Structure 1
Amino acid sequence: MVAQLTPPLTRAPARVSGTTAEHLVGKKRLFWPFLLPALALYVAFLVLPTVATAVLSFTHWAGAGDTPTFTGIDQYAQMFASESFQDSFVNTLVYVVIGGIGTFVLAFLFTTVLRDMRGGKLVRAILFFPNIVAPVALGMFLGFVFKFQPGKQGMANFLLEHLGLGAVKFLQPENVTWAVTGSIMWASAGFYITILMAAVDRIPPYLYEDSDLAGASPWQKFRHVTLPLTWDVVGVAGVLWTINAIKIFELVFVLAGPGTYSPPIRAWTLGIYVFDRSFGTQGTPEYGTACACAVVMIALVSVLVVLLRRLMRRDAIQF
């Protein structure tokens, strides 16, 4: 007896209707016409300038009328050895790390309070207000707040004197970095409060109700409910902070150096260093050194963002 094996049934591929096929072909035809203009602008205004900056960082160039001279890594060696660059690099890291920690602590504190607060959306809008003010105008305002002038003090020293404390020269080169750090924390907290509150608003209320029934403290609710369920948003906010803090320029320039072409060296950031090498040398520009510092800024952003994303990596929690 011979057994006959029946071949497995194969399902015929579903036929695509003529209308659907035409629609897909039409989408493919529109892909490149829509993509090419954006891609051309991206290459022209981002990719090519970035490549040109990297190439010029290995040259000595004084601008129009001068021919770039290849110098290898001399620009980098001189830059890293200069005291002005070292101060700029340290100050920038202070803004990124210390300012970032302070900003997110404030943001989390306000987020915890505003979640259960009546009229929290109005308070959120008020806290966001400093972010819509131009940094130059904000710096001018803070300059009056931190003003040191006996008999005509700014608001900060006025309050210190009425509390029986001595006035502080906030805008002196040795103090201005910390004054700017506090100003950045105050000005930026509202932006990150808004981002974190948007993430908190999507958390189901019953999770907080269950925590209340279990007798959880505010810290426990934040640690076990709020933070895990907003972790992905916190990571994105951390990346945004890192990028914005590294390129800080206007606020420091206005607060630390009003009426001068450049702030004192001890108050510089990497952005101000690039400006000074390009326009503030009061002599021959050093575009090669400025480009070298810009490359360092790009590398610093890349390294910090990658590290931050790795540190913040965890499995998404579904709720």
Structure 2
Amino acid sequence: MARPAGRQGAHLAGKRRLFWPLLAPAMALYLIFLVVPTIITAVLSFTSWAGAGDTPEFTGFDQYRELLGSDSFQHAFLNTLAYIVVGGVGTFVLAFLFTMVLRDMRGGRLVRAVLFFPNIVAPVALGMFLGFVFKYQPNKQGLANFLLEGVGLDAVQFLRPENVTYAVIGALIWASSGFYITILMAAVDRIPPYLYEDAEIAGASPWQKFRTVTLPLTWDVVGVAGVLWTINAMKIFELVFVLAGPGTYSPPIESWTLGIYVFDRSFGTRGTPAYGVACACAVMMIVLVSVFVVLLRRLMRRDAIQF
């Protein structure tokens, strides 16, 4: 094939010359702040290291054996899985229900903005607010228990260590749904209206419209949203720490997540830090999120639909 001549060829040559100068700074930052720390974390996960002033000692898989045999890690792992799976299913079911309602609703954009509001609140502030909502104190209950007692039910200690995970899952579904409603509604807005009109003429119910029109034409966006949820759920820290923590050290192990486990082994312990175990847990987090993302991408793989 002949090379482009004249002005077009000069333009392409100029773009090639600018490629590496523009890409190099971003690649350097990516390597320095992501790739290199990840490699160092993986290396340190095979060592016993107490931090500055201590020399890392290679111990092989001892840190992983300690990790997997720890009750606190098992609680953290199961709680994190619950946030990813149960919280994800609840969030997307609620997001899809609102998507079906808001598509034909007058003032839907305003409602969408109101639902998005919890996402702009800092997790620490959100946790403090929910602490008042879930407060258990006879004769001075929080809003949740006040409503329960108002209908004749017994108050519930939502923030007991064994109950915090369920309370946080409910809070996550409430707080995160607006973000995914916004994403899904943006995908729904680009679907041609005549497809819904044809379905309505054919006598399709709202559920049939969703199953045959909305879902297939937003499937790629749903897949991306699922990946975003998995990554965000893996990093849950502040909300649990504020709701379950005593304010000084780590909260009870029944409420831990993998992020809290890493924090506790690095900074939250009253004794000598165990950075090797913390790094091993961080590696497990990377592996877990990678497995979920690959599974999601495979499950959500569909042929693109042109419209």
What range describes the TM-score normalised by the shorter chain of this pair? over 0.9
Read off the aligned partner of 2:240 and give its amino acid letter. V
Query: CA-to-partner distance for each residue in 1:59-84, whole Å, 9 max, x for gaps?
Result: 00000000000000000001100000
Read off the aligned partner of 2:188 and give its amino acid letter. V
| Alignment pair present for 1:292 and 2:280 | yes
| Alignment pair present for 1:66 and 2:62 | no
| Alignment pair present for 1:132 and 2:120 | yes
Gaps of 5+ in 1: 1-12
Q: CA deviation at 1:259?
A: 2.2
Read off the aligned partner of 1:214 and give its amino acid letter. A
| Alignment pair present for 1:87 and 2:69 | no
Q: CA deviation at 1:166?
A: 0.5
| Alignment pair present for 1:19 and 2:2 | no
- Greater Cα shift, 303-312 or 14-23: 14-23
Query: CA-to-partner distance for each residue in 1:64-106, whole Å, 9 max, x for gaps?
Result: 0000000000000011000000000000000000000000000
- Greater Cα shift, 194-203 or 250-259: 250-259
The corresponding residue for 1:110 is 98
Matches within 5 A, 1:292-311: 292-311=280-299
The corresponding residue for 2:146 is 158
SS in structure 1 of the partner of residue 268 of structure 2? coil
Matches within 5 A, 1:25-104: 25-104=13-92
The corresponding residue for 1:171 is 159
For the pair shown, the structure with the greater C-alpha radius of gyration is 1
Partners of 1:296 and 1:232 lie apart in 2 by: 28
Pairing partner for 1:254 from 231, 235, 242: 242
SS in structure 2 of the partner of residue 317 of structure 1? coil
Query: CA-to-partner distance for each residue in 1:2-24, whole Å, 9 max, x for gaps?
Result: xxxxxxxxxxx556332222212
Q: CA deviation at 1:125?
A: 0.3
The corresponding residue for 2:232 is 244
Query: CA-to-partner distance for each residue in 1:12-67, whole Å, 9 max, x for gaps?
Result: x5563322222122111111111111111111110000000000000000000000
Q: CA deviation at 1:161?
A: 0.4
The corresponding residue for 2:301 is 313
| Alignment pair present for 1:181 and 2:169 | yes
Aligned 8 A contact 2:3 2:9 in 1: no
Q: TM-score normalised to the size of structure 1?
A: 0.95
Read off the aligned partner of 2:140 and give its amino acid letter. K
SS in structure 2 of the partner of residue 279 of structure 1? helix
Matches within 5 A, 1:262-301: 262-301=250-289
The corresponding residue for 1:198 is 186
SS in structure 2 of the partner of residue 237 of structure 1? helix
Partners of 1:105 and 1:126 lie apart in 2 by: 18
Q: TM-score normalised to the size of structure 2?
A: 0.98
Partners of 2:298 and 2:3 lie apart in 1 by: 45
Gaps of 5+ in 2: none
Aligned-pair identity (%): 79
Aligned 8 A contact 2:249 2:269 in 1: no
Read off the aligned partner of 2:70 and give its amino acid letter. S
SS in structure 2 of the partner of residue 117 of structure 1? coil
Read off the aligned partner of 1:245 and give its amino acid letter. A
Aligned 8 A contact 2:159 2:167 in 1: yes
Partners of 1:313 and 1:162 lie apart in 2 by: 48
Query: CA-to-partner distance for each residue in 1:128-153, whole Å, 9 max, x for gaps?
Result: 00000000000000000000001110
